[in-house]
Structure 1
Amino acid sequence: MRFRLTIPETYLQLYGAWRTFWLDKRGIMLFGNTPEALLQSFWCGVVLLPAYVLLLALQPGYSALMDHNSTGRLVSVETITYVMGWVAWPVVAQPITAFLERRDQYFNYICAYNWVSAPMLALFLLLSVIETLLPLPEIVTIGLTIGAIFWRLFLHSFVIRNTLQITGMASIPLIIFDFILGQMILVWRHGLLLTAAM
């Protein structure tokens, strides 16, 4: 199976992600439902890596973490965190979709889930740039961040409903589980980096 996508193939998947980001069901139709398509959806993580690094650099207080952690430790922790963030939910979701009798839709679900990370990361990056360049009141920046988080949760529900073909209420446990898993990874990351900073 081939992992790396060509530029036109990558563009097509990102276009599907963009359409899906705006709740267009036709965007999901651009994602495959095969093991190879699933593998290739992780190519999105390679494409987004530079944007992710920039997002980290724009985080308030990140320069302090850089000062108190060696380069090797910082790179190691951030690399492991990034990889865990990409593979944790797809691994956990596999038995869940089997339990829900949606095994046939698993590949399409994870393809959409992975590729839609692109416009979501772009949104968070845009917010970080705005917060860095504009002296907005703290309540505004907090509100924008919370709004982006809720949009991500709603978008995940949209992806679940249109790939696994389950109701909105049935998608809620999956959304919560995914969110908690992501927070656990971030807590682990913060613990390692802050311990060294003390």
Structure 2
Amino acid sequence: MPRLSGPGVSTEAQIVSGIRAAILLARGKEEGLRHALLSMEGTARSFWAGALCLLPFLAIRSLGNDALLGAGLPAELIGYVLGWVAFPLASLALVDASGRGPLWPLFIAAWNWANLALYAALLAATLLGALLPPGVANLLLLVAFAYALWMEWFVAQKALRISGVRAALFVLLDVALGLFIASLVGRVGG
């Protein structure tokens, strides 16, 4: 776990460091964990990643379907916020069950910052896919989703210092919550 400094770490410094963490984690560098959490407030500040990911999220959703038109936008935004809140809360019980409770702040900070890279990869695949034949575009999106799953697994394994199998449980939890939230958004917005 990184050495946590006192409250002297500014929000801006944590965001810059979080972006650095995302870049390193995206490349499979465990060193990114050192940048994910600079202070005791770092976990809370890592939720700034959600604000930074909002525009890529909206772009991906608008390019993928018409869900953002009309009554769908409020439902999509509520689902987006739920996604950023539900996983950290649900993961706390799984982290405790794994005997890794003290590592939860680092894990959530790294998980949040890693989402910058995940959204960048998914947005790039979506934009490039719009220019390619449907079969190639679908394959590209599948590769981007596989990368996203790998990165979530990597962050869980490294931040919590757990086995690959246990890390997969965190990825499954995130996927299950994402599917549940998507079904709620579909019912409310559709």
Interval of TM-score (by shorter of Structure 1 and Structure 2): 0.7 to 0.9
Conserved? CA contact 2:46–2:112, under 8 Å: yes
The separation in 2 between residues aligned to 1:5 and 1:33, in whole angstroms, is 10
Query: Which residue in the other structure is 1:116 paired with?
Result: 114
The separation in 2 between residues aligned to 1:80 and 1:186, in whole angstroms, is 10
Closer, same or farther in 2 for the Cα pair 1:50/1:124, shift >3 Å? same
Deviations 1:5-47 (A, max 9, x none): 22x5422211111110110011111111765111000011112
Deviation at 1:97, TM superposition (A): 0.7
Which sits farther off after the overlay, 48-57 or 11-20?
48-57
Query: Which residue in the other structure is 1:128 paired with?
Result: 126
Residue type matched to 1:90 in 2?
A: P
Query: Which residue in the other structure is 1:5 paired with?
Result: 11
Output the TM-score relative to the length of structure 1. Answer: 0.85
Q: Does 1:157 align with 2:153?
A: yes
The separation in 2 between residues aligned to 1:51 and 1:96, in whole angstroms, is 29
Query: Which residue in the other structure is 2:37 paired with?
Result: 32
Output the TM-score relative to the length of structure 2. Answer: 0.88
Residue type matched to 1:175 in 2?
A: V
Closer, same or farther in 2 for the Cα pair 1:174/1:116, shift >3 Å? same
The separation in 1 between residues aligned to 2:139 and 2:24, in whole angstroms, is 25
Residue type matched to 1:32 in 2?
A: L
Residue type matched to 1:125 in 2?
A: L
Query: Which residue in the other structure is 1:185 paired with?
Result: 181
User: Quick check: which has more Rg, 1 or 2?
Assistant: 1
Residue type matched to 1:182 in 2?
A: G
Which sits farther off after the overlay, 8-17 or 94-103?
8-17
The separation in 1 between residues aligned to 2:155 and 2:97, in whole angstroms, is 18
SS in 2 for 1:152: helix
Query: Which residue in the other structure is 2:3 paired with?
Result: none
Query: Which residue in the other structure is 2:66 paired with?
Result: 62
Which blocks of at least 5 consecutive residues in structure 1 are unaligned?
none
The separation in 2 between residues aligned to 1:103 and 1:182, in whole angstroms, is 23
Conserved? CA contact 2:83–2:178, under 8 Å: yes
Q: Larger RCO: Structure 1 or Structure 2 (Cα < 8 Å, ≥ 6 residues apart)?
A: 1
The separation in 2 between residues aligned to 1:40 and 1:137, in whole angstroms, is 40
Structure 1 runs (4+) deviating above 4 angstroms are: none
The total of aligned residue pairs comes to: 183
Match for residue 135 of structure 2 among 139, 163, 170: 139
